[in-house]
Structure 1
């Protein structure tokens, strides 16, 4: 198994924290190491030094998530955990405030689980999730959410081999390279090579864009049918 990503959930709603933990426990490379219900608790949790990624709500009592993010970055500098702002607010202003505070990403709470897992892995690896003002907006405006499925798959997707399509679907569902390798009975290195070829063929930058592509074009829904 690849290196585990230690994450923490910072949200004032206990039911949401529990539900999110239940969803993320299915990702074998993610490990929940702490929870906080307000900004001050989030700061203390970060300063323990054992958190890689913090899922940070914006609206929390005592100190909100953006204030907490700024404080963590100022106090810890390069030692600070990567912070993914997770909120119901789909506002450009909220994205801008998150960026200025030092967050590494911004995503809606309503995002698909596969997208959230991919976002955590991406920012842990050094990526940032602010291109085009957040992936969540793309999903909200996607034809998948409001219209019938397209009759044909994109031409670029049809150039993928059968094995590449299988790996694409597993990656879009949020599985790590190691998990995909186990399901496909190949090495993690082989999966990595296939992912690289898939991204190149589809003109995608990273796995975050791969997940968005899958939901925009209804590929995930087709695979479930």
Structure 2
């Protein structure tokens, strides 16, 4: 069972998400809160698997709460899926840099939100299709946020891990990577599990972000 905390300052939004997620047999909404500080407390107290986090909330905002839950200094990280009304670059990139594993707009289809919660809980991450191109293009010009540089990537990663990272950056699933490299899916997962700590990331999405930030891959490359 995937334990979910909903953080949003609008009661109607919280109620809608609770109904949407609550009907799924593998999802359990364990708490609803109205600000970021409450989200951090509830997620830790209730051992949440995912926090569905709004950005703009009174008190502690969603990006600050995300950094506390799953940023570089988080000792017991909890994955965060950002759900917001605002299609604003400041929020999008701020959330990704804070450590969020996913970012969706609230007008996403219910099935998309449900799938995103499962994906984030599994450590895969998710990003709205309409935002992907903007993310890639912006990351190429933004400062690097990870201490590892592209030059050291080949030193830190094995040849196979680097190969998997390149396929991951193309948007491939574990199954697709396995077929492309003639590997079992379990083997792909094992390589990912060893690779991500080396890069200082905690999800597939963050690994892809890291790859573009550090120019391990490039647009069209």
Give TM class, smaller chain. 0.5 to 0.7
Rounded to whole Å, the distance in 1 between the matches of 2:12 and 2:96 is: 27
Instruction: Report how far residue 36 of structure 1 moved.
Output: 1.1
Aligned to 2:13: 16
CA-atom RMSD in angstroms: 2.6
Aligned to 1:64: 61
Rounded to whole Å, the distance in 1 between the matches of 2:130 and 2:56 is: 18
Q: Deviations over 1:122-145 (max 9, x none)?
A: 111111224xxx32548xxxxxxx
**Stretches of 4+ moved more than 6 A in 1?**
none
Rounded to whole Å, the distance in 1 between the matches of 2:48 and 2:63 is: 18
Rounded to whole Å, the distance in 2 between the matches of 1:90 and 1:137 is: 9
- The unaligned stretches of length 5 or more in structure 1 are 139-195, 201-225
Rounded to whole Å, the distance in 1 between the matches of 2:6 and 2:53 is: 7
Instruction: Report how far residue 49 of structure 1 moved.
Output: 4.5
- The unaligned stretches of length 5 or more in structure 2 are 133-174, 180-221
Are 1:102 and 2:96 counterparts?
Answer: no
Given the two structures, how large is their TM-score scaled by the length of structure 1? 0.56
Aligned to 1:39: 36
Q: Which residues of 2 match residues 170-209 of structure 1 at below 5 A?
A: none
The counterpart of 2:111, out of the listed 110, 114, 126, is 114
The counterpart of 1:128, out of the listed 125, 143, 152, is 125
Instruction: Report how far residue 20 of structure 1 moved.
Output: 1.1
Pair 52,121 (structure 1): closer, same or farther in 2 beyond 3 Å: same
Preserved contact between residue 108 and residue 136 of structure 1 (Cα < 8 Å): no
Instruction: Report how far residue 33 of structure 1 moved.
Output: 0.5
Count of aligned pairs between the two proteins: 138
Are 1:28 and 2:20 counterparts?
Answer: no
The counterpart of 2:52, out of the listed 55, 73, 85, is 55
Instruction: Report how far residue 10 of structure 1 moved.
Output: 0.2
Secondary structure of residue in 2 paired with 1:77: coil
Given the two structures, how large is their TM-score scaled by the length of structure 2? 0.56
